[in-house]
Amino acid sequence: MPIRFDPPRLTLTPELRWMLLRAFGPVGAPFATPFEPAAALALARRFEVSARIAARHGRLALAGELGAEAAAGFARDRVAATAVGLRLLGMTRHLAELAEPLGLPLVFLKFVALEAAGLEVVGSRGACDVDVLVPAARAAELEAALLAAGCRSSGMPEAEHQLPALQHPSGGSLEVHLLMLGVRPEGKDSARFEALERQGLLQPLAELPGRCSVPAPEAQAAHVLVHGLGQHGYWPASYSLLKMVADLIDLSGPGGSGLTARAFSWVERDVSVEEADAVRKLCALLARGVDPAAWEGGPEELLLRHILAGRLDPAYAEALRLGLFRPQPSDRPPGFQLLYRIRGALFLSKAQIDAIYGRPSHPLGYLGRRLARPFDLLVRLGRYGARSRRLGR
């Protein structure tokens, strides 16, 4: 299966090239092309890598290159990311303390797993929730303990791979996962706790109470890859794919050597061999600091254009939304996948209505929104289709 995306050509401005070099390339590498510091900061914020740039280079070096004002903006983003990261780590310990007397094993994913792997993502990577995988048969038990401890429902619906998100009293979000969607170390189904344990893919966290662990780096890399391209490839507004690139570079070390053939095989149902290879080459080039302006085409250049255009080209971003009808990571039969997605798009919870349309001024407004939703979807799909035709995609 070839790469699923067909992005437009983009002008790689000096600000974009600087952002990529400073986010991923060697620290201290020169950049001789003149650029606008404020525009570079705005781009780094749009792609959610400003805190990473600040953490990698430091305020003094950035001030020498950008001036004091832009460097202060990067520094503020790092401070904000640090505050959120420390809050999430506090939630992680609270969760572990709740699970310990229950004898409930926890596997922390994503942000917490990256930090536990020694990558020091606090202050360099944005995050908004704590993701934890538990044995599916005991997920309701953990949810009940969290609600009793003061957490409350977010009002968002459950998903195939997780229970409805919870809001922690400290203000962060908690997501209780039933499986690592799209990561298939045993060949068929997405990995549950038991499969990770059988395959020796869990690493214990001695610093937390109870039975806490994280996936092995290879499993984390597979999860990052399928979460980025498989789940969010068509939805660039919901997840910056440069975060996927950053996580994979950090997990893999210089040159992307940790993106192993075994990790690729675990996600091959949802990420093609060609796409996985493009990601590996993209990570390797960016980590070496190769200026994208000098790239000579190839799948890695196409993938970079997709990542950038998804947040810079509104027409392309709208055309991508037709990905609702394309296969996405799931353990359900293909026909049921589409039915569940259409049902989820049509029938919204109150929290979803608030997020999409804003809170109605009267309770009856929710009924009106639900009745109007099918017609609104038809209008949106028509617009997305028109965008796609104009782009020739």
Report if residue 4 sits inside a domain.
no
Using DSSP bridges, classify how beta strands 212-215 and 106-109 pair: parallel, antiparallel or unpaired.
parallel
Q: Given a cut of 70, is residue 391 above it in pLDDT?
A: no
230 and 359 inside one domain: no
Q: Given a cut of 70, is residue 294 above it in pLDDT?
A: yes
The mean pLDDT of 203-219, rounded to a whole number, is 94
64 and 161 inside one domain: yes
Report if residue 110 sits inside a domain.
yes
110 and 135 inside one domain: yes
Give the list of residues 6+ apart from residue 227 with CB closer than 8 angstroms, or none. Answer: 110, 181, 182, 239, 244
Reduce the DSSP state of residue 225 to 3 states and report it: helix
Report if residue 2 sits inside a domain.
no
CA separation for the pair 35, 97 (Å, rounded): 49
Report if residue 132 sits inside a domain.
yes
pLDDT band of residue 324 (cuts 50, 70, 90) is low
Q: Which residues pair with 215 in a beta bridge?
A: 202
pLDDT value for 392: 57
Which residue type sits at 62?
A: L
CA separation for the pair 182, 302 (Å, rounded): 23
**More confident call, 371 vs 53:** 53
211 and 339 inside one domain: no
Query: What pTM value is reported for the model?
Result: 0.89
pLDDT value for 390: 62
Two structure tokens written together for 146: 């969290």
Q: Which of 124-128, 157-161, 377-381 has the lowest mean pLDDT?
A: 377-381
Phi, psi for residue 108 in degrees, rounded to 5: -85, 140
Q: Given a cut of 90, is residue 295 above it in pLDDT?
A: no
Question: Around Cβ 346, how many Cβ atoms within 10 Å?
Answer: 11
150 and 212 inside one domain: yes
199 and 348 inside one domain: no
Two structure tokens written together for 8: 């437009």
Report if residue 6 sits inside a domain.
no
The mean pLDDT of 325-331, rounded to a whole number, is 82
pLDDT band of residue 192 (cuts 50, 70, 90) is very high
CA dihedral 28, 29, 34, 35 (to 10 degrees): -70
Reduce the DSSP state of residue 216 to 3 states and report it: coil
Domain range for 327 is: 321-393
- Percent over 70 (pLDDT), the chain: 95
Q: Given a cut of 80, is residue 68 above it in pLDDT?
A: yes
Q: How far is CA 215 from the centre of its chain?
A: 17
284 and 379 inside one domain: no
| ∠ CA 262-266-272, rounded to 5° | 100
Two structure tokens written together for 364: 């009856």
Q: Which residues pair with 68 in a beta bridge?
A: none
| ∠ CA 342-321-114, rounded to 5° | 95
SS (H, E, C) 278-339: HHHHHHHHHHHCCCHHHCCCCHHHHHHHHHHHHHHCHHHHHHHHHHHHCCCCCCCCHHHHHH
288 and 330 inside one domain: no
For residue 139, what is the enclosing H or E element?
A: helix 139-148
Report if residue 106 sits inside a domain.
yes
Domain count, the chain: 2
Residue-wise pLDDT for 131-152, tens only, equals: 999 999 999 999 999 999 999 9
99 and 19 inside one domain: yes
Residue-wise pLDDT for 217-231, tens only, equals: 999 999 999 999 999
251 and 195 inside one domain: yes
177 and 195 inside one domain: yes
Largest CA distance in the chain: 59
CA separation for the pair 199, 278 (Å, rounded): 27
Q: In angstroms, what CA-CA distances link 194 with 113, 178, 199, 211? A: 18, 11, 9, 14
Q: Which of 293, 312, 331 is the last residue of a domain?
A: 312
Q: Given a cut of 70, is residue 281 above it in pLDDT?
A: yes
The mean pLDDT of 229-236, rounded to a whole number, is 90
What's the whole-number average pLDDT of the chain? 90
CA separation for the pair 352, 203 (Å, rounded): 36
Q: Which of 260, 277, 312 is the last residue of a domain?
A: 312
Q: Given a cut of 60, is residue 256 above it in pLDDT?
A: no
Taking each helix axis from N to C terminus, what angle separates 14-24 and 50-57, rounded to the nearest 10 degrees?
60
113 and 81 inside one domain: yes
Report if residue 335 sits inside a domain.
yes
Report if residue 68 sits inside a domain.
yes
Using DSSP bridges, classify how beta strands 129-133 and 106-109 pair: parallel, antiparallel or unpaired.
antiparallel
Residue-wise pLDDT for 14-30, tens only, equals: 999 999 999 999 999 99
Q: Which of 312, 329, 355 is the last residue of a domain?
A: 312
